[in-house]
Amino acid sequence: MPGFAPQSANVVNPSGPLHNDAAATHHKAMARTNSASMPRFIPPMLATLVAAPFDDPDWLFEVKWDGFRVEAVVDGGGARLWTRGEKDAAQSYFGPFLDPPTWLDAGQAIVDGEVIALDERGEPDFALLQARIKGRGVATEPIPFVYEVFDLLHLEGRSSTSRSRSAADFLLTSSARTRASA
């Protein structure tokens, strides 16, 4: 909505490369490796807090999903899930719900997204996500995990972090197969 940016919105400048310490760390790591190498983990770009709502065509406002930030590393027919603090998210929280990675048409990729749980109306609900994590879905009706992907960081041996947001979105859209859920 023009002129409105909720305080919880993620704000990203789509016209240029990622500009934060995580991106700088990634670029340095990639400079030390050949183009076929894939990093084990890329520290995620975090939301930028702004003092007041604004509207600017050079900025993109992303949905706040009210979930758990997770990076999926797809390689060798499997998917590893990492929290933004580089903790094994599959082992600690979600199980192997994105494995095998049939949801992505790529042999090797790193994607950034958010795991959410949907209520009976299809709305994200953090309390339901916490219940699913604690109970591993033990209920009369399982509450699905959904992985909302919002960024492609690496694809088939090449970093996507230096691409414009629109180019990365095109690569992501052409690689994604369907919404992944448990």
Q: Which residues are catalytic?
A: 64
Cβ–Cβ under 8 Å, residues 5 and 53: yes
**119 residue type, one letter:** D
Cβ neighbourhood burial of 102 (10 Å; 0-12, 13-18, 19+): exposed
Cβ–Cβ under 8 Å, residues 62 and 32: no
SS3 119: coil
Buried/exposed code over 26-55 (b: 16+ C-beta within 10 A; e: otherwise): beebbeeeeeeebbebbbbbeeeeeeeeee
